[in-house]
Amino acid sequence: MSGSPPPTGGFVRRVGLFQATAINMSQMCGIGPFVTIPLMVAAFGGPQAVTGFLAGAVLALCDGLVWAELGAALPGSGGSYVYLRQAFRHRTGRLMPFLFVWTAMLFIPLIMSTGVVGFVQYLGYLAPGLGRTAGDLTGLGVIALVVLLLWRGIERIARITAVLWTVMIASVLLVIIAAATHFSPHMVFTYPQGAFNVMSDHYWPGFAAGLTIGIYDYLGYNTTAYMGAELKNPGRTLPRSVLFSILGIMAIYLLLQIGTLGVVDWHRMTDPHDIASTSVASAVLEDTWGRAAADTVTVLILVTAFASVFTGLLGGSRVPYDAARDRVFFRAYGRLHPRHRFPVSGLATMGVITAVGFLVGRHTDLATLIQLLTTVMVIVQALAQIVALTVLRRRRPDLPRPYRMWLYPLPSVLAFTGWCVIYGYADPNSPGRHPVEWSLAWLALGCVAFLAWARHERVWPFGPKETGEDIGETRNALEMS
């Protein structure tokens, strides 16, 4: 049952607080800030782009508190699948958890594909002659290597993740320190005329675009929620890993963003022919410590990008497993590897979709890929999950909650508003790409798939509604707290 101790032959609880926080932070930091600083500057039109990272941090923290409470109360593998199932099954049966898994099978790999796009961008700094075809093949090779490394037991993966986390911290700190040695406050705090004119026609679309980029950079704070069945003492480890990772990355991002803008003129970041538009961290090192140092840190950034894809697919591949095991998704995804105990079908499918998303991003642009993945995840995961928190508080007041949201319901309201802003401005910020329409089409296709699946499984609306609570759920929550 969801939230209950894993069955014999299932997942093993071997991931502690440090490793869980490292998994989240590796996924969050990854290549994101190194490739999105120029995108953020372009969205805001100047160094006031720091506002976007601050707004993203607020949204991530508010949404992270939602994940923290739900994850501590229902620490099963699958994350949102578990929460949506418990909250909405009384009215819509298994529809909501099915739709979450359906959308997650798309947006999680798309997030990973942005990391691979960034990997190839920075590789272009070390190999300026890298052509489009060679870059495509390199990215596909990286994805294949990640899947190969994940084809093993979780205890080995946890050790690998700790090493990758150390490299990630080193690469970020080196860029921050280098920027501090040549920092110019004038470059950061001199803004274009009308930069903060909220009455301007361009301010709020730019703010929404910046908020989208900002929350994309923080995505990953929920990775361990997908691994609730593999965490030691998840009632405490899960919420702490979420909050520690958000606060830690918030400080890192602000130092990185401000430091970068204090060294590299923001106009360079909007010039597609300037290396600062694609490899801004390398440009910082080159302008401060020279080309040799820039090359060294670029290598560390490549390792960081690899780590983000690695940890993202690690957590994401667990999403469909619990759903399939509890007959809420296609049964093929409910099988574990007979020896290493990882979900084979989930990992293989997401690896393929990551490869496709990478090619889409390479042949369009990174901003389009970010808009697409955020709109796909908003309705079912972000908005419905916030509603699920309130529903469970009202319907299940007896459910043991090792962690309860601070200042409830204010963080929920702020998170809901932020996600609505992102969704409402998605089409205007991606003219001709129609991310909202694509997200709705994918959701509609998911509804059709659900009806076909429900008819085959003879569940609602082709069978009786579920009204009973999961046996063992309360007992497990007590044990985990």
Extract the tokens encoding 144: 């294949």
Tell me how many degrees the CA angle 106-53-19 measures, rounded to the nearest 5.
Answer: 60
Q: Coil, helix or strand for 343? A: strand
DSSP 466: P
Q: Coil, helix or strand for 227? A: strand
Phi, psi of 414 (to 5 degrees): -65, -45
Q: Is residue 337 part of a domain?
A: yes
Extract the tokens encoding 18: 């440090």
Given a contact cutoff of 8 angstroms between Cβ atoms, the answer to whether 126 and 305 are in contact is: no
H-assigned helices in 317-380: 319-325, 344-363, 366-377
Per-residue model confidence (pLDDT) at position 312: 77
Q: Is residue 481 part of a domain?
A: no
d(CA 111, CA 106): 9
Per-residue model confidence (pLDDT) at position 29: 76
Given a contact cutoff of 8 angstroms between Cβ atoms, the answer to whether 353 and 106 are in contact is: yes
Q: Is residue 475 part of a domain?
A: no
Given a contact cutoff of 8 angstroms between Cβ atoms, the answer to whether 326 and 1 are in contact is: yes
d(CA 170, CA 198): 38
Q: Is residue 474 part of a domain?
A: no
Could you tell me the residue range of the domain that residue 170 belongs to?
17-464
d(CA 249, CA 42): 22
d(CA 175, CA 160): 23
Q: Is residue 469 part of a domain?
A: no
d(CA 292, CA 17): 36
Q: Coil, helix or strand for 155? A: helix
Cis peptide upstream of residue 461 (ω within 30 degrees of 0): yes
Residue position matching structure tokens 């998704």: 329
The total number of structural domains in the chain stands at 1
Given a contact cutoff of 8 angstroms between Cβ atoms, the answer to whether 436 and 424 are in contact is: no
The CA distances from residue 281 to 3, 176, 216, 296, in Å, are: 42, 9, 18, 11
Q: Is residue 223 part of a domain?
A: yes
Nearest Cα residue to 457 out of 273, 310, 323, 343: 323
The CA distances from residue 116 to 6, 20, 81, in Å, are: 33, 23, 26
Per-residue model confidence (pLDDT) at position 2: 37
Given a contact cutoff of 8 angstroms between Cβ atoms, the answer to whether 189 and 257 are in contact is: no
d(CA 12, CA 24): 19
The three-state (H, E, C) secondary structure of 32-50, written as one string: HHHHHHHHHHHHHCCHHHH
Q: Is residue 4 part of a domain?
A: no
H-assigned helices in 45-130: 50-73, 80-92, 95-126
Per-residue model confidence (pLDDT) at position 446: 94
d(CA 71, CA 84): 12
- pLDDT tens digits, the chain, 481 residues: what are they? 334 444 444 566 778 888 888 878 877 877 788 889 999 999 998 999 999 989 999 999 999 999 999 988 988 766 787 888 889 988 888 899 899 989 989 998 998 999 899 999 999 999 888 888 899 999 999 999 999 888 765 555 666 667 777 887 888 899 999 999 999 999 998 888 888 888 888 888 989 999 999 999 998 888 888 777 778 888 889 999 999 999 988 888 899 999 999 999 999 999 988 889 889 999 999 999 999 999 999 998 898 888 878 877 877 787 787 778 878 888 888 877 667 667 888 888 999 999 999 998 888 888 888 988 999 999 988 999 999 999 999 999 988 899 999 899 999 999 999 999 999 999 988 888 889 999 999 999 999 999 999 998 888 888 887 665 443 343 344 334 3
Full-model pTM: 0.84
Nearest Cα residue to 446 out of 390, 385, 377, 382: 377
Beta bridge partners of 353: none
Sign for the CA dihedral angle at 393, 397, 403, 406 comes to positive
The CA distances from residue 479 to 236, 313, 339, 407, 408, in Å, are: 11, 29, 28, 26, 25
Residue 442, domain CATH: 1.20.1740.10
Q: Is residue 94 part of a domain?
A: yes
